[in-house]
Amino acid sequence: MPIVSVKVIEGFFNDEQKTALIKELTDAFCKATMEAARPYIYVTVEEVKQGKWGLAGHPLPDPDFLINDFVPIVEDAADEFVKAYNVQRRRPRGPAA
């Protein structure tokens, strides 16, 4: 029996959106595997309290971090990948991008 587990921020999605997630994830699983699996697919949508999960070492949601700090962290990581893998950037760094 397949179990698809999704965790979302508490209160971020309404009941209709969570119901849509259950339906669409079930449909996607059947498309990727087989329709006969449908009756056996469990989908759980679990809510995680704000501040009880994180990104890049920062508890989220933290609007200040997302607005002011997250993009530079991603840009710095992209620069390191450019160096390590010799891959050209397709867009410039920073707000002009």
The pLDDT assigned to 37 comes to: 96
Question: What's the whole-number mean pLDDT along residues 59-78?
Answer: 79
Question: What's the whole-number mean pLDDT along residues 8-18?
Answer: 91
For residue 71, what pLDDT band results from cuts at 50, 70 and 90? confident
For residue 32, what pLDDT band results from cuts at 50, 70 and 90? very high
Domains of the chain, by residue range, sit at 1-49, 52-97
Topology of domain 1-49, CATH: Macrophage Migration Inhibitory Factor (3.30.429)
DSSP annotation string for the chain: --EEEEEEETTTS-HHHHHHHHHHHHHHHHHHS-GGGGGG-EEEEEEE-TTSEEETTEEE--HHIIIIIHHHHHHHHHHHHHHHHT---SS-SSTT-
